[in-house]
Structure 1
């Protein structure tokens, strides 16, 4: 029983935390529910003296009316208290709590380190934001009400029965110790099943999102049906988990129902024995059987209701784990950079749960308003270096400075304000072109937006669209070509006018015509900026002020193009390999 109350108390404490300003309303609701069920139990208990007075040989009508009136009065108090208690559920309070909780989770997503964010699958986050909040928080009021009813009403009736006949009360009490091992068994199975259930559903959501996003590719390779293996496997896994859960979950409630029925039979058997031996009045036994029969249905569902708390606790735990992730912290003294040179000094970094260092003791200096290219094989740490500048995650050793100031001393919003990124894979929102560009500077005028679009060489094709800048571009910009999407993302970066620009090979996936247009747009973007280019095509970064050659998270070579070619090292070998590929002809391949 201690474990049962301990689990419920944990849920109670979490509810108070999540309820926030409404915590007192939740406490008030519980108190009113408790009062309601105490009086409901007393109303039922009045059945003893009512029947006794009704069947008394010396029938006194006033006595019958007294106990009937008490039943009515106690029932009225119970109904009124429950009606007031349900304000918490039906007066919009629960909706406000879930809304506030989703807002808190939204803020957490904006402020948590991105490496922590990306450790979650999209389906997991969807599950926490939707089903965990709805299934957890919205259920707490109803679940608390039902479990209080099951706990309070029977114990009030049993308490009154002690004053009527302690033997009958003891027989009723015998069933409660038997509930404890049943609940422990169900809880152990339930915890395992719930964890697997939530994980299976999160994986299903992730697989579904992946399937929808990859549908064009799947159609191209004729794999949209049963051969969409990830989605099919996830669907099948959810079905298996549900089947196993149903099979395991049906045994404890069945045993619980059996215990309740056996208790009722025991009351009848021993009660009749006491009646035959003239130690118990038949009318008292009749009242006891009627009252306990009234309780058999809710008592039989005890384990299912306690299981709701396991469900709620699991949902709460998942929500709390996300909320407990530490936000990106800005350390004192908070400073604002005046120039935008970048310095890495003895920087070491490894991703969570990875022993191998992704960045290993790297030091370099990038002067203000210069272009630096970062090259190297896939997985060598190029992108990680740029992410660390934006505090994607905090480094384990060393320092990163902008304008001579440690980035951990720069307010996070101020840091991001000064950095623009143009990715190879462009993400545009399902909104108008105007709003997609404007989000870089919400206060921008139409003229400023058009000027940014002109600098990014996308104004002309936007003007030819049906609604011009008010044209909706579709999910992830699906209504535009790759080059058009890229130029809109560059227009967004131009409008932001950040002092540091990071280019993650923005022309790699484009055709020649689009590449020329995008390159012109980039040239306008990077004027008078500190620029970092993650490069795969070495021909595009020949004129860079500095080239960092990264290998296994370390700086292998550093210098300008001609100097690195003269060294005949790793960069030279990469350059020669690309030149050979460039010079291949179709005949040579044949």
Structure 2
């Protein structure tokens, strides 16, 4: 027998309580009110039996009819009041609070998530989780919970009531169950698959869309707007196909459920007529049963549509839980802070997740405090990986990394990163003022301190020329600034932080000569009295470094000063000679 692939209602209930968090009691209270409301509604429907029987009795007694009508009205009032109280849960903003709480927890989880794990997610995927998946995971808590309970409780109440009127009619109504359960399982299995596929397809679409929009200026420049839009078109088409397939598969159970309800109604009339001819059932009782079942046909027919919402919730919450399930790197005891800032790698080997080849292989070296160490080598040799490991991007499979003699595993992320400033080749500036972009390195810095940092980074002059000066909004990703200007703002940020360790990841590689000179001046100011690690392709920029590491396929194959490495006439000498020849060709040209 094929096992159901969907999450049971009881599990959905437990997940809902988990989502509700400190609002759990309020949610349970709302379910109690809804249960009372729909039991009362079922009893109000059930009063059709005695009321109609009284109205068409041989001896009509008006007071009896009004009594049953009054009881029906009372149950209706109770139902209305309890339903109103049940909806207090969402009307008073609890669902908004729960959504906010989930997003806050997601933000905390992302801040603590190892960067290696975080890098697996595309921006669009995270955007999908933070926006649509959070909303979908709480979708069922309000109106949908009410509809689901109504569809379940009202029919059960009526069937129980009918048992007291005529057990045979109740059994006829119950005949729907053996056929309805397989339809329910069928719909839930198909719905669960479709919702999982849709969430995946939608996340890919959002990621491709964001990538396309961010890369649009480049695509226009190379006249490849249409060609590179193919990924986006494919993602849109895939979402469409997933939706079409889900709709096509989902229609059959809906249609069959409607047919099943009609068959039940016809069976009730046919068999009930036989009981009437047999004088064992009154026509008024059968008429009341037909009215009641007819009234239930609409909510029962949408039952499968309502329960499919649970699959949306389940799929969405599973994507959220996947982020919560990624634990931060463990801080080992005893917790310590570095007091000096020499850096030591001892036999460090590291492989990226799901990669068989090590990105770093038994790397060992020392960077004395307040010295400059340069890292050189061909693209992909492990330079950036090495600097990431200093920031605890992930833990190495073997070996240790120490700052000031303390293993970085014994430092909290905050204590570790407060000692490190990083200037990347690709600068990211936020859509905020220049003042705030610099100040984020030190939130307690005054405006004057920000300006001093900007002056030290040689960017005060061009900032002052802007219409609003330091209060000028940069624009998305600093789009209104040149590469050199963005780089100098990034350096001003690092200067303001004043961390004792500075990592430079080829900060001048993509700049023109004029910008490079300005940025190099800013870097010189930043590096005063710091432990410096610099990645460089242009060897002339690091010839004065205290120590140079030459990496090749994740291994340190040479180490020493510029003069020592040139005299060794090995890998570094070959790289140096090649770059010198390129300079000579440029001069000859």
**For residue 561 of structure 1, what is the aligned residue in structure 2?**
562
Alignment of 1:321-332 (within 5 A): 321-332=322-333
CA distance in 1, matches of 2:160, 2:521: 86
Residue 474 of structure 2 corresponds to residue 473 of structure 1: yes
**For residue 507 of structure 1, what is the aligned residue in structure 2?**
508
CA distance in 1, matches of 2:534, 2:6: 59
Question: Do the aligned partners of 1:183 and 1:303 also contact (CA within 8 Å) in 2?
Answer: yes
CA distance in 2, matches of 1:359, 1:278: 91
Deviates more, 1:62-71 or 1:22-31: 62-71
**For residue 270 of structure 1, what is the aligned residue in structure 2?**
271
**For residue 349 of structure 1, what is the aligned residue in structure 2?**
350
**For residue 573 of structure 2, what is the aligned residue in structure 1?**
572
**For residue 140 of structure 2, what is the aligned residue in structure 1?**
139
Q: CA offset at residue 226 of structure 1?
A: 6.6
**For residue 492 of structure 2, what is the aligned residue in structure 1?**
491
Deviates more, 1:133-142 or 1:424-433: 133-142
Q: What SS does structure 2 have at the residue aligned with 1:420? A: strand
Question: Do the aligned partners of 1:124 and 1:205 also contact (CA within 8 Å) in 2?
Answer: yes
Runs of 5+ in structure 2 lacking a partner? none
**For residue 39 of structure 1, what is the aligned residue in structure 2?**
40
Residue 98 of structure 2 corresponds to residue 97 of structure 1: yes
**For residue 55 of structure 2, what is the aligned residue in structure 1?**
54
CA distance in 2, matches of 1:286, 1:6: 39
CA distance in 2, matches of 1:268, 1:553: 81
CA distance in 1, matches of 2:305, 2:207: 30
Residue 412 of structure 2 corresponds to residue 411 of structure 1: yes
Question: Do the aligned partners of 1:200 and 1:238 also contact (CA within 8 Å) in 2?
Answer: yes
Question: Do the aligned partners of 1:503 and 1:533 also contact (CA within 8 Å) in 2?
Answer: yes
Q: CA offset at residue 396 of structure 1?
A: 2.3
CA distance in 2, matches of 1:571, 1:226: 41
Distance 1:241 1:345, change over 3 A: same
Q: What SS does structure 2 have at the residue aligned with 1:335? A: coil
**For residue 453 of structure 1, what is the aligned residue in structure 2?**
454
Question: Do the aligned partners of 2:5 and 2:192 also contact (CA within 8 Å) in 1?
Answer: no
TM-score by length of structure 1 reads: 0.97
TM-score by length of structure 2 reads: 0.97
Q: CA offset at residue 227 of structure 1?
A: 5.5
Residue 380 of structure 2 corresponds to residue 376 of structure 1: no
**For residue 190 of structure 1, what is the aligned residue in structure 2?**
191
Q: What SS does structure 2 have at the residue aligned with 1:483? A: helix
Q: CA offset at residue 225 of structure 1?
A: 4.1
CA distance in 2, matches of 1:429, 1:290: 64
CA distance in 2, matches of 1:574, 1:171: 89
CA distance in 2, matches of 1:443, 1:473: 21
Question: Do the aligned partners of 1:98 and 1:138 also contact (CA within 8 Å) in 2?
Answer: no
Residue 276 of structure 2 corresponds to residue 303 of structure 1: no
Alignment of 1:160-179 (within 5 A): 160-179=161-180
Q: CA offset at residue 586 of structure 1?
A: 8.3
CA distance in 1, matches of 2:88, 2:229: 48
Give the alignment's Cα RMSD to 1 decimal: 1.6
Question: Do the aligned partners of 1:253 and 1:303 also contact (CA within 8 Å) in 2?
Answer: yes
Q: CA offset at residue 348 of structure 1?
A: 2.0
Q: What SS does structure 2 have at the residue aligned with 1:250? A: helix
Q: CA offset at residue 5 of structure 1?
A: 10
CA distance in 1, matches of 2:490, 2:84: 56
Q: CA offset at residue 545 of structure 1?
A: 1.2
Residue 31 of structure 2 corresponds to residue 12 of structure 1: no
Residue 125 of structure 2 corresponds to residue 124 of structure 1: yes
Q: CA offset at residue 154 of structure 1?
A: 0.2
Question: Do the aligned partners of 1:143 and 1:309 also contact (CA within 8 Å) in 2?
Answer: no
CA distance in 1, matches of 2:4, 2:146: 20
Q: CA offset at residue 59 of structure 1?
A: 2.1
Question: Do the aligned partners of 2:140 and 2:310 also contact (CA within 8 Å) in 1?
Answer: no
**For residue 525 of structure 1, what is the aligned residue in structure 2?**
526
Q: What SS does structure 1 have at the residue aligned with 2:15? A: helix
CA distance in 2, matches of 1:4, 1:267: 34
CA distance in 2, matches of 1:355, 1:304: 46
CA distance in 2, matches of 1:372, 1:476: 30
Distance 1:586 1:555, change over 3 A: closer
CA distance in 2, matches of 1:227, 1:209: 13
Runs of 5+ in structure 1 lacking a partner? none
**For residue 113 of structure 2, what is the aligned residue in structure 1?**
112
**For residue 149 of structure 2, what is the aligned residue in structure 1?**
148
